[in-house]
Structures are given as structure tokens and as C-alpha cells.
Structure 1
Amino acid sequence: MTEEEPDPTPAPEPIRRRPGGRAARVRQAVLTAALDLLAEEGIARLTIAGVAARAGVNETTVYRRWGNREKLVLDAMLTGSNAGIPVPDTGAVRTDLAAFARALADYLATPAGRSVAQAASLSSDDPALAEAWQTFWQARLDQAGAIVTRAVERGELPPDTDAALALELLCAPIQTRCLLGHRPIEPDLPDRLATLVLDGLRARS
């Protein structure tokens, strides 16, 4: 090859890393294992060792990322409920509330959903576990509170509407029926609850 001829050797292509990668796969495997074991055995019997074995990772990997069982359970519950109960944005508060209630009913009809609801409804003498439950419920209320915030901004609800109370009124009947199992969740229940909650909130204005 003379000095005038170009080098025929192609330049190496830049390394392309897949988004997420191994860390994301490990996290998903561990959280899935935690939810599965929570559904099968309950919170009392769930251990880091059991989750690690189910996920196919070392215990040290779990401890390094989550630190303790309570933080792992909290992350699993939040991740599962966020995916199973997305916060809708339909453009109207009534359809938002009905869609949220319907997603909650569908999620609680699954083994994972029932186990999360049962675990989060239990009182605990363990301060760390009790704090995890409180953090879980507050995080969910904060996320779903966007439904009420948007409704207030659109003028659909009074400015002083208590978002947490509104969501508790919407969700409590569904959670009660799921946990106690004394009555079925009828297909039209989410729409009926949304109407009742809105009637109560608007009656104050």
C-alpha cells in the first residue's frame, strides 16, 4: 500500500450499550421474585435469602442494592402497584376517577395485587416495616393526587379539595371487598364510586 492509498481496514464501530443492561435485569428479577414470594408466603416468611434464590442472584447483590428486607419489599410493592395501577389522565375528573378505580379493582384481582394489599394493611410491631407501609401508602396517594390537582386546575373541583380523602373514599370500598371478600366487585362499581365521590366533593362548593 502506497502513501496515497487509503487504509482499507475499517475503523472499529463504537461500543453500543443496551439501555438498562445487567443492572436493570437484576433489579427486575429481584423485584419479581419478591412479589411472587409475597403472594405465595406472605410478608412474615419473606426473606432476603429466599428472594435471592428465586431471582438467581447472590444475597450480597440484594443487600448491596436494597440494604434490608423492608426497603426491598417497599420497592417491590411500589413498582408493582405503579405498573398495575397507572394514574390516568383522560381530561376529565370523573373518567379519571373511574379509570383509576377500575385499574385498582383489576390489580387487586391478581395474586400480586392481593398480596400487596394484604401486606400493606397489616399493622407491624417492627418500626422499619411500619415505616415502609406508611411510605408505600403516602407515595401512592401523592401520585394519584394528580387526578385531583388537575381537576382543581380545570375548575372541576373546589380549590380546597382534600385529595387524600377523595382517593380514600374512592378506593376504600374496593379494597374492603377485596380483602374481606364478602361482596364481589361489580363491573359498574368504579363508575358508581366515581359519581358518588364527585357528588360529595361538589356538594361543598
Structure 2
Amino acid sequence: MSAEPQPARRPGGRTRLISKRLWAATLEILAEKGVDGLQYEDLAARAQVARATVYRRWPNRGDLFRDILARFAEAFVPLHDSGDIHDDLVAFVYAFAEASATPEGRAVLQILMRKADESDGLREVALELLERRTDDLQRRLDAAAALGQLPAVDARFVNMMLAGPVQWFLVRRTRPFTRDDADKVVGVVLAGLRHGDAV
């Protein structure tokens, strides 16, 4: 009598489960204690894995935070080109607000505020991430300028004008930043760019 066929195992099922637990525990700790409060012993205990598992995945905290930065970049809503610069910037600003309010986003902001002479290189990685986003924004602004929707403008300046109000909301935390807020911010910035000197 032949043995009944066994159901096929899904490859990587346990690995995916461990990854999920590790990532959930990482975000919990970041939300509670911030970047400096994240310790591998606590992470392993919360994820219910051995410390060796954590070290195997991220040999040091720098590797873990680089992973956070990479995931933040992936989760960040891309800057679309619908042909309407106002709508595209509203979506961009609102996505930035939503992402910045997450544990990953708060961790990224903490990393950006690290001293320039920190030896782990995390601040440089975060700045590189911002530069890539700025390059995306510059291409979108250039496309709008080519259509006569805006004068030629510098994306770094525009990004500061757009991000500043979002960060003010995040610091105050009196209420969530809404899409209507994003619409108002973009409206004011675009009006200034159109009626002022090109930046």
C-alpha cells in the first residue's frame, strides 16, 4: 500500500513568519523608544526569536537602520505625473505626511537629526535617500515648467516649502495632517512660485 501524498510545503514559510515578527517588533520598539532605544536583546524577546537570529539578519544596528531606510523609500508613494502639477504635489505632500507619521518615518527623521560626525554613516544614507526624492521632484517640476505651468524652480527650495508645514504638524501633534491641509499648502506654494521670482 503506497503512502498518501503529502501536501507540498510552501518554501520559506517559517522564514517569512520570522521576518514578519522581527519587523513588527522593530516598529513597536521604534514607536516606544526611538532609534537610540532599540536594543537587540529587546528585539529578540519581542519577536520571540533567538538573539543569534537577529544578529544573523542584521550584524549590527547600522544594518538594521539601513534596512529601515530602504523600506521607507520603497513604501514612499512615488511622485506621479498626471499632467496636473497641483494634484501631483498634493498627493506627494500627503504621502510624505502619512509616511512621516509611521514608526519608520519617525526613525528616518531621528536619523536625519543625528550629528554629522556620527561614525555609523546612517545620516549619509538618509541624506542620499532625500537626494533621490529631490531628484524625482526636480524632474516633475521641470516637466511642469516645460508645459508653462510653473517658472523654472529649484526642487530643494520647493521641497523645504512643502515639507515645513508637515513637520510643524508632526511636532505639534494636535491633529492629523489631512489631504485638505496638503491642498492648502500646495496652493500657497504654487501661487508664490507663479507670482514671485523664479527660484
Between the aligned partners of 1:159 and 1:204, the Cα distance in structure 2 is 6
Q: 1:195 to 1:70 in 2, by over 3 A?
A: same
- Which one of 161, 166, 182 corresponds to residue 169 of structure 1? 161
Further displaced range: 151-160 or 86-95: 151-160
Unaligned runs of 5+ in 1: 1-8
Matching residue of 2:122: 132
Between the aligned partners of 2:106 and 2:92, the Cα distance in structure 1 is 19
Between the aligned partners of 1:30 and 1:108, the Cα distance in structure 2 is 21
- Which one of 48, 59, 78 corresponds to residue 67 of structure 1? 59
Deviation at 1:22, TM superposition (A): 4.1
Between the aligned partners of 1:159 and 1:97, the Cα distance in structure 2 is 16
Deviations 1:69-117 (A, max 9, x none): 122023224424642x41242513221211121123234445x267325
Amino acid at match of 2:142: V
Between the aligned partners of 1:186 and 1:121, the Cα distance in structure 2 is 21
Between the aligned partners of 1:24 and 1:143, the Cα distance in structure 2 is 29
Summarize the alignment of residues 38-187 of structure 1 with structure 2, pairs less than 5 Å apart: 38-80=30-72, 82-83=74-75, 85-89=76-80, 91=82, 92-110=84-102, 112=103, 115-116=106-107, 119-124=110-115, 126-128=118-120, 131-143=121-133, 145-153=135-143, 155-156=146-147, 161-179=153-171, 181=172, 187=178
Contact 1:81 1:113 in 2 (8 A): no
Give the length in aligned residue pairs.
Answer: 189
Between the aligned partners of 2:100 and 2:85, the Cα distance in structure 1 is 22
Task: Tell me the percent identity.
Answer: 28
Contact 1:109 1:178 in 2 (8 A): yes
Unaligned runs of 5+ in 2: none
Contact 1:93 1:147 in 2 (8 A): no
CA RMSD of aligned residues (A): 3.6
TM, length-normalised to structure 2: 0.72
Give the match's secondary structure for 2:78: coil
Matching residue of 1:33: 25
TM, length-normalised to structure 1: 0.70
Q: 1:189 to 1:56 in 2, by over 3 A?
A: same
Contact 1:31 1:76 in 2 (8 A): no
